[in-house]
Amino acid sequence: MVVSSVLSPQARDDALTAMQGPPGRADLDVLVVGGGIVGVGTALDAVSRGLSTGLVEQRDLASGTSSRSSKLVHGGLRYLEMMDFALVREALQERGLLLTRLAPHLVRPVPFLYPLTHRVWERAYIGAGLSMYDGMAMLGKYDMGLPHHQHLTLRGVQRIAPDFDPASLTGAIKYWDCQVDDARLVLTIARTAAAHGAHVATRVRVTGFLREGDRVVGVRARDLEQDRDLEIRARVVVNAAGVWTDEIQDLAGGHGALRVQASKGIHLVVPRDRIRSEAGFIMRTEKSVLFVIPWERHWIIGTTDTPWDLDKAHPAASRADIDYLLGHVNAILREPLDHEDVEGVYAGLRPLLSGESEPTSRISREHTVVMPVPGLVMIAGGKLTTYRVMGRDAVDAAADTLRSTYHLAVRDSITDRVPLLGAAGWETRRNQRVLLARRSGLDVARIDHLLGRYGDQLDDLLALMESRPTLAEPVEGAEDHLGAEIVYAVTHEGARHLDDVLTRRTRISIETFDRGVSAAPGVAALMAEQLGWDAARTADEVDHYLRRVEAERQSQLMLTDQEADEARVTVRDIV
């Protein structure tokens, strides 16, 4: 069997051919529906146990919740306050595993300040919580990989964060967590699964289920790129569709085994120079907590936590959402931020297990696995940090059926020992960064940027630039990225549309004040060479992206969710 981590257009065609298999016969042990963090984690867990595995996603990898998070790999301080000790302990163990073993090239430590506004009692209370937080991480199965928290006086805070208003503070506590580009994490897990033999295909929408009696034995699907119907047979189907869980469950007649409530969270992106601070910070709000997170040359500010029952594919941020975040962060800044400081805005939906009348900020982020009908496993809930545990639990549930019904031997999960693509040689390449810069003609900062996105797969990009020197030039309108990254996104990373590259393979759409408008033509031209687009198709891709950006801008002027949704849904997906 020839396997490859490459997610090229040809690889997609090959994956669909392999997943369909011979008529009437299930060649797949496990078919995963959903290309978000839980879906790709499930696919990697299944294939690394020796199971034949496929994955289909109706849009792009990480096109939903999994590219729109706070981008934190963390235990969750507020869950500690909610007494959800098991969730915090589990998440802290996974944080250490990702940082030190599985994805050290993608996951990086970030210092945070917890500003204190009350004397004595608050320092004791928060300090005790952070001592427990660090203690749980130290006692986990994997290395903590981070420094312990430390207490700061007001003078110490001013040295680290001179833009904090001293009149509003009495001091702070500094602690450490981790961050990751969530979309790149999803992509890297999907490519790792493919490297081990999983078949991955995007733009494939499940329209129904294949049955033998009461048992689910596969899915009916629509290939949205080629406008054709498919049948994919599998011994077990795992639904990891996030906020679309209810819709997939209804297709299967699952009788409400799971009910998922969507909670909207929005984030703002502002330039790094707008807030002088060497650390991020976390603040209490009346509803939840607010993070201000360093993000390369930017800050990410988030998040809100409110119910959402409108369009799930394109949740919209309203002006009220933006004002809420700006109002809270301005409470401790010397110079307030305003709307003109905002480079980018994004909104995502968290799939929370319904909790009667609980507000969404209080509903648990723990996950649940059920089998509503034979042959169909459903998983919902959870959080980005614990994706590996969720994937393991989903495959454990599938394994029960594979053993009892099909008499297959299924091994235990090994994903805690399977480094993600790019991790194996990352440390060596990092030590060679000056040498690589000298050989390639790039500066060291550019090599660091590429190492943090690709790990040891940096070699592929350097080879591409050596063969095509023009690809070593920065992208016009988005100078943080090189032309080689755009081409690589198409040839190796499954990007099929302009939106895929500008919003997920890169973050140009939220990291530039014009939301990627000036970069769009040049990026589309590079993609066109690889995908065979003619001039009309290339123009269509650019036009669709520009209209999408304008629809988002208009939605962010609206005061209510309903008005924002109506403005945003005027532009749908390109396929």
Paired residues of 202 in beta bridges: 57
Residue 331 CA, distance from chain mean position:
29
Alpha-carbon distances of 377 from 335, 392, 400, 475, 495, rounded to whole Å: 51, 12, 11, 43, 28
Q: How far, in Å, CA of 530 to CA of 73, rounded?
A: 34
**Residue 570 in 3-state DSSP?**
coil
- Which of 27-31, 80-84, 278-282, 473-477 is predicted least confidently? 80-84
Paired residues of 34 in beta bridges: none
> DSSP for 307-357?
E--S-SSS----HHHHHHHHHHHHTTBSS---GGG--EEEEEEEEEEP-TT
> DSSP for 515-554?
TTTTTHHHHHHHHHHHHT--HHHHHHHHHHHHHHHHHHHH
pTM: 0.96
550 pLDDT band (50/70/90 cuts)? very high
pLDDT of residue 361: 40
DSSP 7: B
Which backbone phi and psi does 353 adopt, to 5 degrees? -70, 130
pLDDT at 354 over 80: no
Mean pLDDT value of segment 74-78 = 88
pLDDT tens digits, one per residue of 409-423: 999 999 999 999 999
Look at 381 and 464; give whichever has higher pLDDT: 464
Residue of 574, 522, 510 lying closest to 545 (CA atoms): 574
Residue of 510, 108, 575 lying closest to 346 (CA atoms): 510
pLDDT at 355 over 60: no
pLDDT of residue 437: 98
Mean pLDDT value of segment 161-174 = 95
Q: What is the total residue count of the chain?
A: 575
Percent of the chain beyond pLDDT 90? 85
pLDDT tens digits, one per residue of 531-545: 999 999 999 999 999
What is the Rg, in whole angstroms, of the alpha carbon atoms belonging to the chain?
23
Residue 533 CA, distance from chain mean position:
28
pLDDT of residue 359: 44
